[in-house]
Amino acid sequence: MPVDTPLLIGEIEFRSRLIVGTGKYASFEETKKAVEASGADCVTVAVRRVNILDQSEENLLDYLDPKIYKILPNTAGCYTAEEAIRTARLARAAGVSDMVKLEVIGDKRTLFPDNEALLEATEVLAKEGFIVLPYTNDDPIMARKLVDAGAAVVMPLAAPIGSGLGIRNPYNIQIIMETISVPIIVDAGVGTASDAAIAMELGVDGILMNTAIAGAKNPIQMAEAMNLGTKAGRLAYLAGRIPRKLYAQASSPIEGMIE
């Protein structure tokens, strides 16, 4: 029986193959409960200005202890390589992680990545010793270029961010898996637990999501569903599914039938 090994990014070992975002929750308390239910040991967080006018504002990391969770700062909201590099450097200076979920967005409506700028930022940050996790299109050529530029993993989208459309192009994801040797984490686009399972059944190394959990009617319940969906998909991948056939194949023996 194939035994699973933990997901490794750089030297960092992950207990779960599901990474979750921390945006769009009603409260930090709900965020914490959903993260716990998801089973994730890594959370992605945004880098934002401290509110200097209201010191009573709570801190997300008081709810998600960096001693327990791996913190993955992201460059969400950055539209140029310069902005993303600046944000990543600030995030690292906060001292909780050398990882960065690198996003350089090309367009407000689709939130598709600007791959040219993404590649440039990946190269700069990888040279500075960052563990770079770039969010990119499901493009195998881009994936290879990102790895050549020093990306520790490649994170192709399954569908547009927050769309919930599911795994739109499993064939490209498969080609990316055959093209590069670093871990592949599907980032963005899943809507429900079966989408997580489908992604993991393809054999990708992990999955990252936010809206599908935070936007569900019951985020904590959906977090558990995603936890199980991710695990089910991974197990099914390791177990090896049967080939698809056009015609039926009886599962009961045909000998010994009553006559």
Active site residues: 101
User: Do 205 and 183 contact (CB within 8 A), yes or no?
Assistant: yes
- Taking phi first (over 0 means left), then psi (-120 to 50 degrees means alpha), and beta for anything else, what does residue 203 get? left
User: Do 151 and 134 contact (CB within 8 A), yes or no?
Assistant: yes
The answer to whether residue 38 forms part of the interface with other proteins (CB under 8 A) is no
User: Do 2 and 236 contact (CB within 8 A), yes or no?
Assistant: no
H or E stretch covering 141: helix 140-148
Selected range binding other proteins among 71-79, 116-124, 166-174, 176-184, rule: CB under 8 A: 71-79
- How many CB atoms lie under 10 A from the CB of residue 207? 32
The answer to whether residue 22 forms part of the interface with other proteins (CB under 8 A) is yes
The answer to whether residue 21 forms part of the interface with other proteins (CB under 8 A) is yes
- Which of 1, 49, 67, 243 touches other proteins by CB under 8 A? 49
- Which of 3, 52, 242, 246 touches other proteins by CB under 8 A? 52
- Which of 2, 5, 59, 244 touches other proteins by CB under 8 A? 59
Q: Which residues within the stretch 110-129 sit at the binding site for other proteins (CB under 8 A)? A: 111
Nearer to other proteins, 137 or 211 (CB): 211
Q: Of 189, 180, 133, which is closest to residue 157 (Cα–Cα)? A: 189
User: Do 147 and 122 contact (CB within 8 A), yes or no?
Assistant: no
Structure tokens at 126: 């990888």
Calculate Rg over the CA atoms of the chain.
Answer: 20
Instruction: Convert residues 72-101 into a mask of x (bound to other proteins by CB under 8 A) and - (unbound).
Output: -xx-xx--------x--xxxxxxxx----x
Instruction: Convert residues 169-208 into a mask of x (bound to other proteins by CB under 8 A) and - (unbound).
Output: ------------------xx-------------------x
Check residue 167 and report its DSSP letter: -
- Give the binding site for other proteins (CB under 8 A): 20-25, 28, 31, 44-53, 55, 59-61, 66, 71, 73-74, 76-77, 86, 89-96, 101, 103, 105, 111, 135, 161-162, 187-188, 208-211, 214
